[in-house]
């Protein structure tokens, strides 16, 4: 069965042109040879420290930026080879929810105009009254009174603005949505409401999420599978239960050990990583995590480990990963 999204050897390098006064500029390898799938109807969470390339990867999938190398296939079609006109049509099927509910909405347009714009672009509601009726329906779906459609964004709270952003994303009936840290800018009391809303909408419409986050408590609540990213590379991916209860990569273990209880079930001690995150313009050879890894050995400094299977559905890029002890039937 063809996955909804398949990224294969996807990479993005920034700063390839000359630097100041004609000198060579640093090249930042923001995404480095990433391969993974997103299945129809699932939520794949993408986690990692700030600056690891999560948001860049999300934008590559939507082709908001073009990859340096690799491919992205959506429903079997290579979107990296589409013309501008073809990509414009494809955007009806692929949408994004931004992190900042304040900066992602035009301050000069009403809520009705913001949500109604994609309806007009894709011809989904012809005529002013038809658009207003559809906007009213969308506002009701995200828990806002339809009467709010004539208000400006500044008249709403952060949580209400994010509901507007969600309504705009689902207006065109997409199959895939990149949710880029959609609750990180919101109060904790509002985060659960937005997550529950996103899950309800997904259950009703059947679309897929790439859910980018750093909060492991939020991820545990919404994800079906989890991918862990470090310095532009996926170092572990698998079903949520296996990632949380039997993580195989030392970086995954360190992230989980730093989460407040009871998010970690099997890691009994805090893992303190030594050193700073290396610059993405100077990624260490071999395993890129070896400069901070508590179990690194000479092979880690020399050879880059492949992303290899440690259990059905669970892959880890570590020379010392072992077969996962959790039975597959218990990992769902």
What is the mean predicted confidence (pLDDT) over 104-119? 94
Rounded Cα gap, residues 294 and 254, in angstroms: 10
Q: What CA–CA distance (Å, rounded) separates 209 from 202?
A: 8
Whether pTM > 0.85 for this model: the answer is yes
Residue predicted with more confidence, 102 or 230: 230
The residues pairing with 180 across neighbouring beta strands, listed in sequence order, are 212
The alpha-helical segments, DSSP class H, found in the chain are 54-62, 84-90, 111-121, 128-141, 158-170, 188-205, 216-222, 240-245, 250-257, 298-302
Q: For residues 216 and 239, is the Cβ–Cβ distance under 8 A? A: no
Residue appearing with tokens 């999560």: 54
Report the share of the chain in percent with pLDDT over 70.
91
Contact assessment for residue 52 and residue 231, using Cβ atoms and an 8 Å cutoff: yes
Q: In this model, does residue 261 exceed pLDDT 90?
A: no
Domains of the chain plus CATH, in order, are: 5-18+26-93+206-330 (3.40.50.300)
pLDDT of residue 262: 46
CA distance to 124, 220, 239, 271, per residue, from 223 (Å): 31, 6, 9, 24
Residue 47 pLDDT class (50, 70, 90 cuts): very high
pLDDT at 25 over 90: no
pLDDT value at 24 more than 60 = no
Convert the pLDDT of each residue in 265-310 to its tens digit.
Answer: 555 567 878 888 888 888 999 999 999 999 999 999 999 999 999 9
Over residues 297-324, the mean pLDDT reads: 92
Q: Which residues contact 316 (CB under 8 A, 6 or more apart)?
A: 235, 236, 238, 248, 249, 252, 307, 308, 310
Determine the pLDDT at residue 253.
93
> Worst-scoring range by mean pLDDT, 1-5, 76-80, 119-123, 320-324?
320-324
| Contact yes or no for 68/36 (Cβ under 8 A) | no
Report the number of secondary-structure helices (H) and strands (E) in the chain: 10, 12
* More confident of the two residues 332 and 289: 289
Three-state DSSP at 327 gives coil
| Per-residue pLDDT at 257 | 87
Task: Count CB-CB contacts under 10 A for residue 248.
Answer: 24
Containing 12, the helix (H) or strand (E) segment is strand 5-14
CA distance 218 to 260: 12
Distance CA 314, CA 297 (A): 23
122 vs 86: CA distance, rounded Å: 13
Q: What is the mean pLDDT of the chain?
A: 90
| pLDDT on residue 307 | 95
Report d(CA 133, CA 116) in Å as an integer: 10
């Amino acid at each position: 069965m063809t996955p909804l999204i398949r990224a294969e050897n996807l990479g993005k390098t920034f700063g390839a042109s000359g630097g100041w006064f004609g000198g060579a500029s640093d090249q930042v390898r923001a995404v480095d040879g990433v391969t993974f799938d997103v299945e129809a109807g699932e939520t794949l969470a993408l986690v990692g420290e700030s600056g690891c390339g999560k948001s860049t990867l999300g934008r590559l999938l939507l082709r908001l930026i073009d990859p340096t190398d690799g491919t992205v296939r959506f429903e079997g079609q290579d979107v990296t080879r589409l013309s501008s006109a073809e990509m414009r049509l494809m955007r009806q099927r692929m949408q994004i929810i931004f992190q900042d509910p304040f900066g992602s909405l035009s301050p000069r347009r009403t809520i009705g105009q913001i949500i109604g714009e994609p309806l007009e672009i894709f011809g989904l509601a012809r005529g002013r009254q038809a658009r207003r009726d559809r906007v009213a329906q969308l506002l009701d779906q995200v828990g806002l009174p339809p009467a709010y459609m004539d208000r400006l964004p500044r008249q709403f709270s952060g949580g209400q603005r994010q509901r507007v952003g969600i309504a705009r994303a689902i207006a065109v009936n997409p199959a895939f949505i990149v949710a880029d840290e959609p609750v990180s800018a919101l109060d904790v009391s509002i985060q659960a409401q937005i997550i529950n809303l996103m899950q309800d909408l997904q259950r009703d419409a059947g679309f897929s999420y790439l859910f980018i986050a750093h909060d492991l408590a939020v991820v545990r609540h919404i994800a079906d599978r989890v991918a862990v990213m470090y310095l532009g590379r996926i170092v572990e991916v698998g079903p949520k239960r296996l990632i949380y209860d039997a993580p195989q990569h030392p970086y995954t273990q360190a992230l989980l050990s730093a989460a407040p209880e009871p998010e970690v079930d099997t890691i009994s001690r805090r893992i303190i990583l030594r050193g700073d995150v290396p610059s993405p313009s100077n990624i260490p050879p071999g395993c890129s995590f070896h400069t901070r890894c508590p179990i690194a050995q000479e092979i880690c400094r020399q050879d880059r480990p492949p992303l290899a299977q440690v259990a059905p559905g669970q892959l880890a890029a570590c020379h010392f990963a072992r077969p996962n002890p959790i039975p597959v039937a218990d990992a769902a």
